[in-house]
Structure formats: structure tokens, C-alpha cells
A and B are shown apart, each in its own frame.
Chain A
Amino acid sequence: MDSSNDEALDIIITNVVATFRTRCHLNLRTIALEGTNVIYKPEVGKVLMKLRKPMITASIWSSGKIICTGATSEDEAKLGARRLARCLQKLGFKVRFSAFKVVNVLAVCSMPFAVHLIDFTKNNRPIASYEPELHPAATYRIKNLKATIQVFSTGSLTVTGPNVQNVATAVEQVYPLLFECQKPLCK
């Protein structure tokens, strides 16, 4: 982005959800028996395995599909997924790490100003919607980025999108719209 009056806007990623496949059938009972940090949920048909080092929780299905949540970056998610696959390999399954994909990224960001939500919604209908009785934030959905931004009147944002790049782009796109509707922090 260009220079002049630049200020750093910290976008902090709080959660990355990724999926991958092991290309083999997994015996959930064996995993529950021989793995530590494992919770078996027979009623749903999955096993929850928690890793310590990247703080990650994985849902493992017997079909070999695994969903990892809790990572704080895409690379960390990949590392955690590989660690998990390695762990399953050691337990005796013929695991092949494949089809790794980051599915969702959740990030928070804080504007240095407060936002007047009613003006913001009026200026951006129908992309933005705000129902104060239902939820305190205005929701702004960017279709082509598949990102959803929730704007709170204190200036905090919550952004979800399919990958980190989209999330950053979404924040950059919405910033000027928020800037026009800023309100002084106190009257």
C-alpha cells in the first residue's frame, strides 16, 4: 500500500481450521486405546486428539478424514497436521498425508476509532446488515472474497475467510468504509 500517513493495523489471527486425508481407514478404538490426549466419542463416531506443541485439536473420523482446529497460522496448521499424521503412522496405520487444505481463518482487528454502525449500515446496504436487538455488531459480507466481517461500535472487527490473504484483503477493503463512518470516541 502507499505511504503517507501510514499506521500499522494489527490483524491477529486467532484460529485456523484445516482438513486433510490419510487415504486409509482408521480404527478409532485403537487410537483411543494407544494414544494419549485422546477423547473417543462413539456416539458421533469420531476421536478428538489434542496436540501440545502447536496447540491443536483434531477430529479424526474412521474414513481417514481429519479436521484440525486451533492453529494460529497456516504454517502452524500444516505442521500440526503433519505431526498428527506421523503420530497415526506410528500407531500402525498406513497413513499418507494428502489433500491438506486450509478451510477457514478467523482473525480479529481493532480500528483506532469507533464506528457509527447505523451510518455504516445505511451507506452500505445491502452488503451490510445490522440488527441491534439480535447482535451488537454489524455484519458485512464480501461475496467475491467469501469473507464475513463483524464490525462492533467500539471499532473492533472480527473477520472470517477461507485463507489469510483474503482476510487481509477484506480488512483493507472495509477500512475506508469504516473510516467515513467513524465517530469521536466520546462526545
Chain B
Amino acid sequence: MSAAGMRCPACGSTNIVDDDLYSQAQLVCVDCGSVVSEGVLANDPVGGSDVSFSRTTAVAKRPCANLIKGQQRVKAICRILMVNREIEDLSHTYYKMAYEHKAFLKVSLQKKDILTGCCVLVSCRQLNWPITVGTISCLLDADSMVVGAIYQEMVKNLSIEAPIINVTDVIGAHCHEYKISSLDVPEELAENSRELTKRAVALVELAADSWIVTGRKPIPIMMAATYLAWQSLKPNKHRLKFSLDKFCQVAKVKKLKSAMTRVAEIKEVLCKLGKEIPWVRETVTPDNVIQLVECILQNRYALLRRAMRTHEDALLEESQASCAEAPPESSSQISECADQTPITSFVKQNGSNSDGKEKPGDVDYNPRVLPEHSGTQESQNPPQNWGKRVLFAPPCVIHAKKRRAEQPEHTDVTGDEEISDSEIDSYIRTPQEARDFALMQQMLSLSDSAKS
């Protein structure tokens, strides 16, 4: 407010001057000396400046340094995996989205690092470029469980859907890693990568059909399939003598422990099928089955059907022979159900029974489930022990864990029974016992401190 054009409220004169008192602006009337108006002590507005501190000190906004580093890491991973341009762009987009998502805003740098790998993984899956979580965790040098957890969190938060990879898709890339071409190893051990992949894929498909793949980690299976494929492509004595260890050393690949068990399981399946080949005279053992692998794989569906049929016939004979035996065991089924309390719920079985799905000679298991109290030869719970009746079954079913014996008193418990004193007393030490215990503890602690 300027001094001009104002009137002093006390005397009415227009002679008003700016007379600042220290740092307080004041307008004072010259004639009567009254203060017409005064400003605040300082020129700053009350309650702080209108402009915030961060704005006054702000520089031009730059993208976060960690975001840039992360994007470079994404690029590096994409280049190492040699993916195409589309996948790389998609990974960059996902990484930016994830980085700025509130769930990942305040996480540790390590997690953000793993996030880079997860973005690449998701983009590869969506655009049909199969890589495994194992590959990514190798590249990131992180535990695959941690990578998996962050991957699932990211997929949930960003609401993206990624198809699940099949083992058969990944095996091509896996076989490529094996340095077994003629450039790397002597001629007698070398193998064309394409042939190797084809044979390995066939072996993996066979394994998938016979319950070896389900529920297992994919990489040991692929390793086992590659090893057996390599052996069977030229099954001479030299190659057959090569153990899995040596093969991995030659191919410069790190051996996995469980691959050995997978090799044994696949060989077992091959033996079961090898037995069905009509022109093979000698008994098929895991040692001599490798020579027959080519033949088995070419005719595997026919051999599978034959094996199923033979097995069915054998079972039929068995059941007919033992039909005349002991009367059916009835309620032993309940006793099999351990010391846990079963609640039985009746569930409607929709539509027609699996009769429609049954292929001739294929399905061994009879889907007409036996009611609880029926007497049959298999007194154990049918679904749990179908492993014993079927030719191919996962090992967890064949070697089912034995359940503990049932304790019948538990079936009639209500929560509000009487609790007798004597029961409770069994849980409390008598005063003498308590004193002894305290004494013993003292002695123990003394001897401990004496020793140390």
C-alpha cells in the first residue's frame, strides 16, 4: 500500500510517509504520529514461503539413476539370451511399469535387480521364446526360489498373464548348451545338435506319457534325456561306457544330482517297452536297452498300447485266480485312513462317467470308484494305490507312504467334555520333582561354566 492517497484515520491528513521500524514496514501520519498501517516483521509471508523448499532448490527432473541402471541390465540380459527386438522392447516396458508400481517402490536394490530378470522372463514367455526360471537365476546369480517369488508377485501386481512353458519347448535351447559338436570334441563323441534335440524331444515326450515329468524340475529331466539321446545315436561300446558324470564333463555342463535318478527311471520305462518288441529274443535289461532306443522311440505309441494290453491281461488273470479266495475285507478302509478324522462329503459326479473318454485298451484304471465300505481285493483307498495296478505311475504313488494306525477314540470328541483331575496331574511335576529338576539345572549350569 503506497502512502499516497491515504487519509490518517485519527486526524484526516494526507501526509503519510513510509517509516519503517527496523524491518517492519509502517505508514505513519506526520501530523499526529499515529501508525496508519504496519506490515509483518519480515517480508516473508506468514507460515513460510509460498514456494516450497524443494521447488526453490529443484533442478530439472531426471529419471531415477537406478531405473536407468535397471534398464541397462534388462538390455544386457536380452543381449546375452539373443532374443529378438520385440521381446527386448516389451521387457523394457514391463520393467518401467514394475519399477514405478507402488509395490516395488521401496524394495531393496537386490530385489530390483531380480525384477529385471523377471521382466525378461515374462516377455519371453508371452512372445513364445521358451526360457526357464533356472536360466534367469543363473544369469542373475540368485536363488531360483527367490526369483520365482518375485516373478509371481510381479505378475500379480501388473496383472499380466504368461503362458506356461512345456519341457519339450525348452529342450532345444538346453541341448544347444552342450558342447558336443564336432568342433569341440573328437569325432567319435561328436553329435549333430539337431539330431540330438530330436531324439531328446522324443525321449522327453515318452517320459511325459509315463509320469516321469509331472511334478519334477525340468532341467534334470532334460539332462537325462540329452545323455540318453547322445548314447543311443551311436550305441557303441565306447559311448555306453561313458557315465553321466563324464558326459557332463566332456560337454562342459554342470551335472545335477537328480539327473541320475531320472536316467534310471527313463531306462526302466524303455525296458518295459522294449519287452514288447516282437523280434527281440533276449531279455531287455537297462544295460542293453540303449541299442533298442531308436526302434522303441519310432514305434512308441504302438509299443505303449501293447504294453498296456499285456498288463491288463495279466491283471485279469490275477484277479480271476484270487476271486475264489478270502471274503472281501470291508471296513478295513476306515482303519487305513490313519489317525486323522475323515469328513465324508458326497460330491456329484457330473455328466457321463469317463466311459466316453476311455480309449480302447488305453485306460487301465476303472473310473467307477468303489464306495467306502465295499469289499474288494484292494482294501486300501483305490485312488491312492492305483500305482500298484497300473503299468506306469508316478513314484510317489508306487511307493505310497504308510499311514499311521488309527486311534478310534478320536472320532467321538466334542469340545466340552469333563476333564478329570488325574489327567491334569500327569502334566504337573510334584514339588519334590520340581526341586530335583531345579537342582539338576543348577548343577548343569555350574558344570558348563566350569568347563568354559
- Interface residues of chain A, those whose CB is within 8 Å of chain B, are 1-14, 33-37, 49, 51-54, 72-79, 82-83, 86-87, 90-91, 110-113, 117-118, 121-122, 125-126, 129-134, 136-137, 152-155, 164, 168, 171-172, 175-176, 179, 182, 184-187
Contact = CB atoms under 8 A, between A and B. Distances in A.
Given A110-B383, A186-B365, A175 B347 contact: yes
A185 B437 contact: no
Contacts of B369: 7, 112
Given A72-B410, A126-B161, A185-B363, A13 B393 contact: no
A36 B427 contact: yes
Interface of B: 132-134, 144-145, 148, 151-152, 155-156, 159, 161, 163-164, 166, 209-211, 214-218, 304, 308, 337-350, 353-354, 357-359, 362-365, 367, 369, 371-372, 381-384, 386, 390-394, 396-397, 410, 413-417, 419, 423-429, 434, 437-438
B385 to A, nearest CB: 10
A171 B350 CA distance: 15
A130 B163 CA distance: 10
Contact of A112 (B148, B382, B390): B382
Which of A5, A76, A179: most chain B Cβ within 10 A?
A5
A18 to B, nearest CB: 10
Given A79-B415, A153-B215, A186-B363, A133 B348 contact: no
A139 B437 CA distance: 49
Contact of B350 (A34, A132, A179): A179
A33 to B, nearest CB: 5
B386 A1 contact: no
A13 B424 CA distance: 27
A144 B209 CA distance: 37
A161 B337 CA distance: 21
Sort A-B residue pairs by CB-CB distance and give the 5 closest, nearest first: A78-B415, A136-B215, A134-B148, A153-B214, A185-B365
A7 B161 CA distance: 36
A173 B49 CA distance: 62
Contacts of B144: 133-134
Contacts of A118: 164, 166
B428 to A, nearest CB: 6
A34 B434 contact: yes
Contact of B342 (A11, A75, A129, A153): A11
Contacts of A134: 133, 144-145, 148
A187 B347 contact: no
Contact of B396 (A52, A87, A130, A154): A154
Contact of B391 (A35, A72, A184, A186): A186
Contacts of B371: 7-8
A8 B415 contact: no
17 contacts: A4-B349, A5-B348, A6-B349, A9-B345, A11-B344, A33-B434, A33-B438, A34-B428, A90-B428, A110-B381, A131-B148, A134-B145, A136-B215, A184-B354, A184-B357, A184-B359, A185-B386
B445 to A, nearest CB: 13
B419 A152 contact: no
Nearest to A168: B345
Nearest to A134: B148
B392 A186 contact: yes
A125 B419 CA distance: 50
Contacts of A179: 349-350
A173 to B, nearest CB: 10
B297 to A, nearest CB: 15
Given A131-B148, A175-B347, A113 B367 contact: yes
B133 A186 contact: no
Contacts of B344: 8-11
A172 B217 contact: no
B345 A1 contact: yes
B340 A13 contact: yes
A134 B150 CA distance: 12
Given A83-B419, A87-B424, A133 B134 contact: yes
A105 B415 CA distance: 16
